[in-house]
Structure formats: C-alpha cells, structure tokens
Amino acid sequence: MKKVALLLALAAFVFSACTTSRGLERRAGGELKKRVAESPVFANGFTGFVLLDPETGRILADVNGDHYFTPASNTKILTLATCLEVLGDSVPAMQTRRHVLDEAANRSVLLLRGTGDPTFLHPQFQAWQSAFGWLKNRSDTVQIWPRPPQVERFGPGWAWDDYPDDYSAERSVFPLYGNTALFSFDTGGYAVVPPFFRKNLDSSLYTDRIKRREHENLWFLPAFPKPQDTARWFPFTRIGLDLGALLADTLGRPVLELTGGEYEFVPDDWHTHFATPLDTVLRRMMHQSDNFIAEQMLLVCSGQKFGVLQPDIPIRWMLDSVLTGMPQRPRWVDGSGLSRYNLATPQSLALVLRKLWLEQPHGRLLDLFPAGGVSGTIADRYAGPDGKPFVFAKTGGMSGVHCLSGYVVTKRGKTLVFSFMHNNFVGTNRPWKEEMGRVLEFIREAF
C-alpha cells in the first residue's frame, strides 16, 4: 500500500512539474510573440517568426508563420535536407568507362562523364582530389561523354547582371575549378588560375576594374587595379568553352569533349569514383553560404537518385514524397536561393529543421550549421555569454531580405527550432540582426 501511495505521489509530482513547465512555456511564448509582433525594428518591414519544440512538435510562438517570404539562402536548408536524404558519406566525383575500339590492336579510350560534383579541381578542396589523381595516372585517351539534356547555366529568376560575380558561378554537368578563375596582381602583372585562361586577358582598353564579356571568356584588365581586385575570383562561362581543352591543359594530355553522335552505342555500365566527404562539402555550403556548391549538389542528388542531372526533378520528389507534412508547400526553384521566385513560410522551414533534428545525429547536424560567434556567416554575431555558441543557424540575405533559421539552445539545455524571415525593408539589415540577437537571448533565458 505504501508503494502504491509513493507511486501516486511521484506521478502527481511529475504531472505538477509538467503542468508548471507547460505554464512557463506558455507565458514565455506569449511574451516572445509580443516582442516580435510589436518590435519597432521589425515594423519597418514584414516579419515572420516561428519557435518550435522539435521533440514534441509544439509551436511555442508564431507571428505570421503561415505567410510566404522570399527565403534567399535559407533555401539551402532544403538543399541540405535533400543531400542528407539521398547521398552517402562521399560525393561522386566522376564516372568512367573503358571503351574498346579494337580488341586485336588493344585500342581503347577512357570515357568520362560528370556527376555535377562541385569539388573537382576546386581550389578549396585540394585535399580531396583522388579522382583526378586516378585520372592523371591513366594513359588512356580521354573523351568526355555528354549528359543530355544540358543544364541551364543560370537558375530561373536569377539576376542576369550578376554573371561576373563569384556568388553567381554557372551551373554545369562537369564543373572544373568551381567554374571560376582566380585573378591575382602584383608587380609582375596579372596571373590567372587555371593558366588555361592566360590567352584570354586583354589590357588594351581602359577599365577601372576587371570585367568579362557576358557570353565569352574574355577579361579586360585595369592597369592599376583597386586593392580589392588584386586577388579575386571571377566566374567563367561554358558558352563557347572547350571543356576538353581546359581539362587537357590541367591533365597534361589530350582530352576530347564529345558533343553527341560520335558513337552508335549508349553506355550504361559506368564506374563511379567518390572523393570529397559529404559533410565537408555541406559544411562549406552552409557555413560560407556557397551558392555554386548548393546548385551543384542538387544536380548530384538528381544524378544519384534518378540518373539525370536536372534540378527540378529532386525538388519535385522532395516536395511530393519526403517533405509531405509541410503546412504550406514552398515554391522551390533552385538549390541556392539566388532566385526571387523561391517562396517559403517560417512554419514550413521549421518543420524541415525538425525533421533533420529527429533523423540526424545532433552533433553532426549542428556542426553543419554556422555557429553564433564562432563560425560561418554568423561568426560575428549571436555569441553565447561564455563564448560557447547557443545559436546554430543559416542566414539568407539579398536586397530587402534577411532570414535566419536554425536551432537555439536554452540555458536549461533544451534545443528549439526557430525561423526568422524578414522581407520588404530598405537599407542595411544591421538593425534586424541586432533585434534578432535580443530575441534569441530572451529565448535562451526564458525557455
């Protein structure tokens, strides 16, 4: 009898504690909603916000959470979810196949085709070039096999005049060097990597900065560059580019880029070479908000899951088959968020973040997101009082847009999901960042 009484008392205590905790959460949620809805900073634009408990799915605070916003680079959260759903521990670097031309004469060629891998010969991934090392050690004649249909170089809704900027590198089936060239200037003049483009430099015209013609790889160089132009990355275009010649220049032997119709057969037994660890690529995509990597990784997922490199295919599959529980279906058109056609709600992004929290090891997941005061695009903000990060979140910004979505760890050790989305403001986003910092600090203390 005493044991039953003890159990009943314990149950009553737990129930009372849960009721008290739930009451504190409701009061804190009400105060939080008031702070966001009545913020004089947020009143200068249009703000949506959601705070969610990922363990229970309860929404703790919501302000315009069911309204659509331009997410900018918060779109990369959707791309991250796709990569974690589809890919293994490494990124497929390329596919090869040995094709025998004449068995008696022992004549063969090595067919090579791209997987969309953004890291092949990319200068930020020099430690993971095992696929290129394997290719370089082969003696076969190399031929690049086409993968129709060709990928559009820009995504829908991208700003056309961003073509010379490094954040808008072109998409392609078989990118090399991140589809960018590095220009550096010193007393000896200009140098460019890859050196293949040295013949494409022109300093005969007066210009105050490095410029490239939109549809060709011809760069005009200033005689006296500005300090910020002494070492900069510029995209090159695939229009008119002989990809075989570019790879041959790096490989040190001839490479032919096939355009289709050279063979009567269509090979299907390709060998896939894996190289860069997946988390290494995703970390750069999220921490540096790398648009090129995001776009290419969506192509990689398409190739691995469906055998064709088209970004709209994995997008449609994710929305129709994987992210089916979202309260508002996003309008999702690219991998990076460069497009203003993208639309998402704070509630839907919070649901994706909850799904990741429930399915991924927590340490791994938080490591993929920028950490407040420590790393990535929020290294200079949202630092914890003891130097330990309590915000792990992805930023997203363009003119009139600033978003921040991810995870916040409270002082009680509880991790909550949040999504801040701000649209339709003018001027700098600094006041919005500072106000979000105050709100996040309140969440840390109150929940």
pLDDT tens digit string along 351-374?
999 999 999 999 999 999 999 999
Pick the CATH number of 32-84+286-446 from 3.40.710.10, 3.40.228.10, 3.20.10.10, 3.40.50.880: 3.40.710.10
User: Does pLDDT of 10 surpass 50?
Assistant: no
pLDDT tens by residue, 249-302: 999 999 999 876 555 566 788 999 999 999 999 999 999 999 999 999 999 999
* Residue 13: band (very low, low, confident or very high) from pLDDT cuts 50, 70, 90: very low
Q: Where, residue-wise, is CATH 3.40.710.10 in the chain?
A: 32-84+286-446
pTM (two decimals): 0.92
Q: Hey, what amino acid is at 290? A: D
Average pLDDT, the chain: 92
Q: What's CA 42's distance to the chain center, in Å?
A: 27
Q: Which residues of 198-229 are buried (b: 16+ CB within 10 A; e: fewer)?
A: eeebeeeeeeeebebeeeebebbbbeebeeeb
Q: Are 85 and 314 in contact (CB under 8 A)?
A: no
Report pLDDT for 400: 97
**CB–CB of 39/61 below 8 Å?**
no
Angle at 103 between CA 102 and CA 104, to 5 degrees: 95
Q: Is the pLDDT of residue 11 over 90?
A: no
CA distance 145 to 151: 15
- Tokens 């290419």 appear where? 296
How far is the C-alpha of 291 from the C-alpha of 282, rounded, in Å?
11
Among candidates 69, 157, 77, 73, which has minimal Cα distance to 339? 157
Quick check: helix, strand or coil at residue 361? Answer: coil
Per-residue pLDDT for 14 more than 50? no
